[in-house]
């Protein structure tokens, strides 16, 4: 018991350290190349965490989240244009608006998509993403179509430009983690996990699966939409195929799988590992088509070698090691921490 409290304390302090490091990062590495990398990495930390709320907790794999990412982007861009907001800190205030709009879209899409199960759901989300891309490309009067949509330009200069965006992404990532953690600890979260294990059984014990799944979907999408909106503001000009980008959609999924599906820290870990790697690959090989081949190779290696993800695999390793050396009275691979509503909160 004491050992586990120690572990919790360790985890907790680790988190605080990590957060401190994240907050201080721009001071540590203020050059624009590093902060740019930081912006994208934090972006994916948030995206992966948000995606995990749906895919990890309920087991419903959405491959269309790139659609929400793009929608959030366009939403903010259009709102800013309509209201004539100038560049600076003000646009950030409208990010929640983009989130709300994305939530509404997700409610509609989710209501429809969640009528199906497993395999069909995946495909419907893919179809949704392509539909959104098509709409973005063809509703030219609204979105500018292939010519793109512009955002107000922020007045910051030089190395400082990236900083506010970094903190915005960090804030969203922290928000996502907080929401994810709160869900995990709640009865709602337990219901989601039950749905993942056996949806019909969950229904049989009164879990309102439809409402729960939709809520998770909407929350997940809203977060992704907000992150997408900040991205749009960051890159100043967005185009349909670059903002409703299947690669972004699949990256966030891969990161969660790498880190550990359904865990709290898994998405964070996956993003911290893969995004810098992705950026490095793009920087060094982006010009040639080999970038995709290498990325694909990394992808395949991750999935085939660590299908359960890093965190669950490490956990198993530790449990086995413990019971091997006669540690805690744990059945191999079976026991978890003593009963707590916060099922496995430690990342």
Partner 1 sequence: MTLVLEAAVLGILTGGVYALMASGLTLIFGVMRIINVGHGALVILGAYLSFVLWRNLNIDPFLSLVVTMPVMFMLGVILQVVFVRPLKTDREALSVLVTYALALGIEGLLGYVFSSNYVQITAWYDTASFPIGNFRITYVYVYGFLLCLAILGAIFLMLYRTTFGGAIRATMLNRTAAQLVGIDVDRVSAIAFGIGMATAAAGGVVFGITNTFNPGSHYDLISRLLTIIVLGGLGSLRGAIIAALVMLVIEDVTSVVISPVWASFVFFVILVAVLLLRPQGLFGVTVRDRV
Partner 2 sequence: MSLLQVDHLSKRFGGVVAVDDCSLSVAEGGITGLIGPNGSGKTTIFNLITGFIAKDQGRITFKSQLIDGLGPDRVYARGIGRTFQLARIFPRLTALENLLVPVRRSGLRALFSRSDWGHEKSRAMEMLGFLEISHVAGQLGGSLSYGQRKLLELGAVMMADPELVLLDEPAGGVNPALLERIADRIRTLNARGTTFLIVEHNMSFVMNLCSEVIVLHRGRQIASGNPEAVRNDPAVLDAYLGA
Task: Name which of 282 and 342 has its Cβ closer to partner 2.
Answer: 342
Q: How far is CA 173 from the centre of its chain?
A: 8
Closer Cβ to partner 1, 13 or 284, answer by number: 284
**Residue 20 or 208 with smaller CB distance to partner 2:** 208
Are 154 and 93 a contacting pair, CB within 8 Å?
Answer: no
82 binds partner 1, rule: CB under 8 A: no
Q: Which of 308, 314, 330, 345 binds partner 1 (CB under 8 A)?
A: 308
Tokens of 153: 């330009």
Binding mask 138-177 for partner 1 (x = CB under 8 A): x---------------------------------------
List the x/- string, 277-306, binding to partner 1 by CB under 8 A: -----------xxxxxxxxxx-xx--xx--
Out of 89, 112, 283, 321, the only residue in the binding site for partner 1 (CB under 8 A) is 112
Min dist CB 34 to partner 2, Å, is 39
Q: Is 311 helix (H, G, I), strand (E, B) or coil?
A: helix
Q: In the complex with partner 1, which residue's Cβ is closer, 136 or 163?
A: 136
Shortest separation between residue 255's beta carbon and partner 1, angstroms? 11
- Lookup: tokens for 326: 């006669």
Distance CA 221, CA 206 (A): 26
- Which entry of partner 1, partner 2, none binds 242, CB below 5 to 8 A by partner kind? none
Instruction: State how far the Cα of 46 lies from the Cα of 35, in Å rounded to an integer.
Output: 16
What torsion, rounded to 10 degrees, do the Cα atoms 147, 40, 255, 4 define? Answer: -150
- Residue 290 or 335: the one with the smaller Cβ distance to partner 2 is 335
Contact status: 83 vs partner 1 (CB under 8 A): no
CA 36 to chain centre: 18
CB closer to partner 1, 165 vs 295: 295
Is 143 within 8 Å of 243 (Cβ atoms)? no
* Closer CB to partner 2, 111 or 299, in the complex: 111
How many whole angstroms separate alpha carbon 300 and alpha carbon 28? 34
Which residues would be at the binding site for partner 2 (CB under 8 A)? 185-188, 190-191, 193-194, 196-198, 200-210, 331, 333-339, 341, 343
CA gap 58, 191 in Å, rounded = 9
Shortest distance in whole angstroms from residue 220 CB to partner 2: 17
- What 3-state class would DSSP assign to 121? helix
Rg (CA), the chain: 21
Long-range contacts of 160-164 (CB under 8 A, 24+ apart): 161/32, 162/26, 162/32, 162/35, 162/36, 162/38, 162/39, 163/26, 163/35, 164/89, 164/92
The first and second tokens of residue 294, run together, are 């290498």
**Residues numbered 23-62 forming contacts with partner 1, rule: CB under 8 A:** 55, 59, 61
Cβ at position 18, least distance to partner 1 in Å? 27
Binding site for partner 1 (CB under 8 A): 55, 59, 61, 63, 112, 115-120, 122-124, 126-128, 130-131, 134-135, 138, 200, 246, 250, 253-254, 257, 261, 288-297, 299-300, 303-304, 307-308
């Amino acid at each position: 018991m004491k050992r586990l409290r120690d572990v919790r304390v360790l985890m907790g302090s680790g988190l605080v350290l990590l957060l401190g490091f994240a907050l201080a990062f721009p001071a540590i590495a203020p050059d624009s190349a590093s902060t740019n990398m930081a912006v994208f990495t934090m972006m994916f930390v948030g995206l992966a965490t948000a995606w995990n709320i749906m895919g990890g907790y309920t087991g419903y794999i959405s491959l269309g989240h790139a659609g929400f990412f793009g929608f959030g982007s366009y939403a903010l861009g259009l709102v800013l244009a309509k209201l004539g907001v100038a560049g600076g800190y003000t646009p950030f205030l409208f990010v929640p608006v983009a989130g709300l709009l994305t939530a509404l879209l997700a409610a509609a899409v989710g209501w429809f998509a969640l009528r199906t199960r497993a395999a069909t759901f995946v495909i419907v989300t893919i179809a949704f993403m392509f539909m959104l891309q098509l709409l973005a490309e063809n509703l030219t009067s609204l979105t500018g179509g292939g010519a793109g949509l512009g955002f107000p330009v922020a007045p910051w200069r030089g190395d400082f430009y990236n900083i506010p965006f970094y903190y915005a992404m960090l804030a969203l990532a922290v928000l996502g983690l907080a929401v994810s953690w709160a869900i995990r600890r709640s009865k709602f979260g337990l219901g989601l996990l039950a749905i993942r294990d056996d949806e019909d059984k969950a229904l049989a014990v009164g879990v309102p699966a439809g409402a729960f799944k939709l809520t998770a979907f909407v929350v997940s999408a809203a977060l992704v939409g907000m992150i997408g909106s900040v991205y749009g503001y960051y890159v100043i000009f967005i185009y349909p195929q670059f903002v409703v980008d299947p690669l972004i959609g699949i990256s966030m999924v891969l990161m969660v799988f790498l880190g550990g599906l359904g865990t709290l820290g898994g998405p964070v870990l996956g993003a911290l590992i893969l995004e810098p790697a992705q950026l490095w690959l793009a920087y060094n090989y982006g010009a040639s088509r080999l970038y995709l081949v290498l990325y694909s190779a990394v992808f395949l290696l991750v999935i085939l070698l660590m299908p359960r993800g890093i965190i669950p695999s490490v956990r198993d390793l530790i449990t086995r090691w413990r019971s091997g050396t006669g540690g805690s009275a744990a059945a191999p691979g079976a026991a978890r921490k003593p009963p707590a509503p916060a099922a496995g909160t430690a990342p």
